[in-house]
C-alpha cells in the first residue's frame, strides 16, 4: 500500500481473478485504476454473497478502483474506451483471445498507435496453439498443467484449494507491468506483455516435471506429506492433534533422531541413510515417527521439536487459520460497510489508507464526462 504509482492511470477491461489481482496491486501502490465492466458487472461479483451480501472474490480484488460499465459491442462505447486508453499509462485485459482485436483494440494495434502505452493481456493458454481457444478457468489449467496429478492422496488427484493459476498469472502480470514502467522511465517506450495462466503455473511445475523427465517417472501424490523429502508431513499425536514437521538435511536428521525420537541409532540405519533412502522407506519411517508421537500430546511434541531445532507447525483448519496470531488484516470500504481482508504480503511501514470497493458503474457518469469527445 502506498503512493509510489501516483500519477499512473490504468484502464482494465477485466473480470474474475487474474487481471483484477494484478490491477489491485497497482491500485494499492497508488495508481488510478478504472475498471471497465459489463452492464451486470464483473461476473466475480456474483460468485457468492458471503461477505455482507457481497462476493468474497470481488471484495478481495477490487479495492481502490473506479467502475464504469461499457458495452464494447456498441461503437460509441468502443470510441470512449479508446479515448480512455489513449490517455492511460497501462491497459490490462483478460477477455477471450481476439475479442478486443476484432473491434480494433487488440494489444498489438494499441501499442503501435500509442507507443508509450504498456499493454498487458492475460489469457488461459496464450494467443495461439491447440488450446488457445479453450475457456481457461482455473481448475482446467490446474488439470492441463499436471498440478492436479501431484496434488491429493495416493488414490485421488485433487484441485489446489485456491485459484492458484489465476493468482500466479495475476502476480506475474503485476511484476511485468512494474518492470515495463521502470523501462519506460528510461526509454520513453511502452511494451506489450502477454501472460497466460498455463505459462504462469507451468513455471511453478518445473521441479516435478524436471524430476519426471530426468528420473522419477511417476508423479507422486502424498497428501500433506512432501513427495520427495522425508520425514516431512503430518503425524498424529496421542491427543488426536496432527503436528507438521520437516527435516531438510542430514544435520537436522541426526538431531531429529537424537533429540526428538531419542533413538540416535536410527540415524545410522541403512534404510534411512539419506533423503532418497528415507523416501523409499517412508512407510516404515512414518510408522516409527507416529509410534513416538502417539505417546506425546501436541504441546509435548511441539516442545520437543523446538528443543531439537526441527521445523514444525500445526495442521490448522479454517478456524485456526482465521485466528492465526500472525495474520494481518486491513479494512476496505464497501457499500455494505467496512470489511476486514487479509493484508497484502508486501507492505511499507507507513499507514495505509482505507480503500473502497466500487459499486457497479459507480463512477460511470464522471468518467464519461472526463473522457467525452471534444
| Geometric angle at alpha carbon 152, from 326 and 167, rounded to 5° | 55
Angstrom CA distances, 163 to 7, 47, 138, 197, 316, stand at 31, 13, 6, 10, 20
How many CB atoms within 10 Å of residue 282? 20
Beta pairing partners, 66: 34
Contact in structure between 158 and 169 (CB atoms under 8 Å): no
In the structure grid, which three cell numbers stand for residue 147, read together? 498440478
Nearest alpha-carbon partner for 305 in 229, 237, 239, 240:
237
Give the burial string for 294-318 (b: 16+ CB within 10 Å, else e).
Answer: eebebeebbebbeebebebeeeeee
* CA torsion through residues 249, 254, 260, 266, sign: positive
* Residue 166: active-site member: yes
Q: How far apart are CA 208 and CA 204, in angstroms?
A: 9
Residue of 138, 166, 361, 374 marked active site: 166
Nearest alpha-carbon partner for 64 in 17, 26, 110, 11:
26
Percent helix, strand, coil in the chain, to 5, is 40, 15, 45
The region that residue 361 occupies, defined by phi over 0 for left and psi between -120 and 50 for alpha, beta otherwise, is left
Q: How far is CA 371 from the centre of its chain?
A: 33
**Residues labelled catalytic:** 166
Amino acid at each position: 500500500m502506498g503512493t509510489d504509482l501516483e500519477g499512473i492511470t490504468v484502464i482494465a477491461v477485466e473480470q474474475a481473478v487474474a487481471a483484477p489481482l494484478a490491477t489491485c496491486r497497482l491500485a494499492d501502490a497508488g495508481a488510478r485504476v478504472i475498471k471497465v465492466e459489463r452492464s451486470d458487472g464483473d461476473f466475480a461479483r456474483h460468485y457468492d454473497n458471503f461477505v455482507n451480501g457481497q462476493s468474497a472474490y470481488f471484495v478481495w480484488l477490487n479495492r481502490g478502483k473506479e467502475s464504469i460499465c461499457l458495452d464494447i459491442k456498441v461503437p460509441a462505447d468502443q470510441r470512449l474506451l479508446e479515448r480512455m486508453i489513449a490517455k492511460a499509462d497501462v491497459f490490462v485485459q483478460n477477455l477471450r483471445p481476439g475479442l478486443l482485436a476484432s473491434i480494433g483494440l487488440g494489444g498489438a494495434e494499441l501499442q503501435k498507435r500509442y507507443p508509450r502505452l504498456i499493454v498487458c493481456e492475460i489469457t488461459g493458454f496464450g494467443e495461439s496453439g491447440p488450446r488457445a481457444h479453450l475457456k481457461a478457468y482455473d481448475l482446467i489449467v490446474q488439470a492441463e498443467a499436471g498440478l492436479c496429478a501431484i496434488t491429493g492422496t495416493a488414490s485421488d488427484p485433487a484441485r489446489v484449494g485456491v485459484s492458484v493459476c489465476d493468482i500466479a498469472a495475476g502476480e506475474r502480470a503485476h511484476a511485468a507491468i512494474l518492470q515495463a514502467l521502470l523501462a519506460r522511465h528510461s526509454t520513453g517506450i511502452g511494451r506489450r506483455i502477454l501472460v497466460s495462466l498455463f505459462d504462469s503455473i507451468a513455471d511453478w511445475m518445473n521441479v516435478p516435471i524436471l524430476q519426471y523427465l530426468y528420473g522419477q517417472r511417476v508423479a507422486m501424490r502424498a497428501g500433506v506429506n512432501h513427495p520427495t523429502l522425508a520425514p516431512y508431513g503430518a503425524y498424529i499425536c496421542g491427543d488426536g492433534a496432527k503436528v507438521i514437521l520437516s527435516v531438510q538435511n542430514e544435520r537436522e536428521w541426526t538431531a531429529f533422531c537424537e533429540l526428538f525420537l531419542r533413538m540416535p541409532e536410527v540415524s545410522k540405519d541403512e534404510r534411512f541413510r539419506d533423503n532418497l533412502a528415507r523416501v523409499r522407506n517412508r512407510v516404515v519411517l512414518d510408522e516409527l515417527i507416529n509410534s513416538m508421537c502417539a505417546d506425546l500430546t501436541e504441546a509435548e511434541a511441539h516442545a520437543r521439536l523446538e528443543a531439537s531445532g526441527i521445523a514444525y507447525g500445526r495442521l490448522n483448519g479454517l478456524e485456526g487459520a482465521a485466528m492465526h496470531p500472525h495474520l494481518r488484516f486491513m479494512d476496505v470500504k464497501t457499500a455494505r460497510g467496512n470489511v476486514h481482508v487479509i493484508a497484502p504480503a508486501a507492505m511499507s511501514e507507513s499507514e495505509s489508507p482505507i480503500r473502497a470497493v466500487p459499486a457497479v458503474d459507480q463512477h460511470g457518469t464522471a468518467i464519461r464526462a472526463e473522457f467525452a469527445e471534444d
